[in-house]
């Protein structure tokens, strides 16, 4: 019982370092040995707490996805009971929470953003259980988009949401790899980036394939 506190620290320490290294080097490019060296924990601790490298990755994904999805749904809740749905609000509810993590979480912010982007460009089979964590969330956003744009088909909204996701992923990876697009990680810069991304994709979403 004395070591439970230490165990929690160990488990969290592994998760934190894993998130950084997985983000920087990808799943396949990350070795448990390089990971435990930086985390200063024992190799056996990884298998004791998580079981395997794949399950460790899965645990990191769950932790990150939970934070993002909660933040997105919280934003979405502000609007989903309104009679008239404003597209800009919904798009911002999708994009903003992810990017606002950067200034909110301090030095962990950039790492989280980077992992958030990189995990969505992992090859199969990793990508499969990354998608699983976000699928339900995407469906809810599609439902709202459907209400905001009732004369567009579900299929059309699906690939338009996919474009929004594409833009978000690229932005997150750029932030993680070079700090590009968001030179300073302060709140002001991030809000500017959010505003321009929202404006860009809203334009594309509003125009239906069937119109003009």
Partner DNA sequence: GTCTATAATTCGATAGAC
Partner DNA sequence: GTCTATCGAATTATAGAC
Residue 198 C-beta: closest distance to a second copy, Å: 10
> Which CB sits closer to a second copy, 81 or 178?
178
Least Å distance, CB 112 to DNA, is 22
Q: Does 173 bind DNA (CB under 7 A)?
A: no
Q: Pick from a second copy, DNA, none: which does 34 bind, CB < 5 to 8 A by kind?
A: DNA
Spell out, one character per residue from 29 to 68, where the chain touches DNA: x when CB under 7 A holds, - when not. -xxxxx------xxxxx-xxx-xxxx--------------
- Closer residue to a second copy, CB minimum distance, 85 or 202: 202
Report, in Å, the least distance between residue 67 CB and a second copy: 22
43 binds, among a second copy, DNA, none (CB under 5 to 8 A by kind): DNA
Report the distance separating Cα 85 and Cα 146, nearest Å: 10
Q: What are phi and psi of 12, to 5 degrees?
A: -70, -35
Distance, CA of 210 to CA of 73 (rounded, Å) = 30
- Measured from the CB atom, the residue of 9 and 184 that comes closer to DNA is 9
Which CB atom, from 103 or from 117, has the smaller least distance to a second copy? 117
Closest by CA to 113, choosing from 104, 126, 123, is 104
Q: Write a three-state SS string for the chain.
A: CCCHHHHHHHHHHHHHHHHHHHHHHHHHHCCHHHHHHHHCCCHHHHHHHHCCHHHHHHHHHHHHHHHHHHHHHHHHHCCCCCCCCCHHHHHHHHHHHHHHHHHHCCHHHHHHHHHHHHHHHCCCCHHHHHHHHHHHHHHHHHHHHHHHCCCCCHHHHHHHHHHHHHHHHHHHHHHHHHCCCCCCCCHHHHHHHHHHHHHHHHHHHHCCCCCC
Nearest residue (CB) to DNA, 10 versus 171 = 10
Q: How far is the CB of 134 from DNA (least distance, A)?
A: 24
85 binds, options DNA, a second copy, none, Cβ within 5 to 8 A by partner type? none
Decide: is 3 part of the binding site for DNA (CB under 7 A). yes
Indicate whether 125 belongs to the interface with DNA (CB under 7 A).
Answer: no
- Site residues for DNA per CB under 7 A: 3-4, 6-7, 9-11, 30-34, 41-45, 47-49, 51-54
């Amino acid at each position: 019982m004395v070591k439970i506190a230490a165990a929690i620290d160990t488990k969290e320490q592994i998760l934190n370092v894993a998130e950084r290294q997985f983000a920087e080097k990808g799943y396949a490019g990350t070795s448990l040995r390089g990971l435990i060296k930086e985390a200063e924990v024992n190799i056996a601790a990884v298998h004791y707490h998580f079981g395997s490298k794949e399950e460790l990755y899965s645990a990191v994904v769950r932790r990150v996805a939970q934070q993002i999805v909660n933040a997105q749904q919280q934003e979405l809740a502000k609007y989903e009971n309104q009679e008239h749905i404003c597209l800009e609000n919904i798009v911002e509810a999708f994009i903003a929470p992810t990017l606002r993590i950067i200034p909110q979480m301090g030095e962990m912010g950039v790492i989280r953003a980077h992992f958030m982007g990189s995990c969505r460009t992992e090859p199969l089979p990793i990508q499969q259980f990354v998608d699983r964590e976000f699928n339900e969330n995407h469906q809810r956003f599609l439902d709202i988009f459907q209400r905001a744009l009732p004369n567009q088909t579900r299929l059309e909204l699906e690939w338009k949401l996919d474009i929004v996701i594409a833009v978000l992923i690229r932005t997150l990876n750029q932030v993680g790899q070079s700090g590009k697009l968001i030179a300073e990680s302060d709140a002001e810069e991030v809000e500017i980036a959010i505003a321009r991304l929202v404006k860009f994709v809203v334009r594309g979403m509003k125009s239906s394939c069937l119109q003009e």
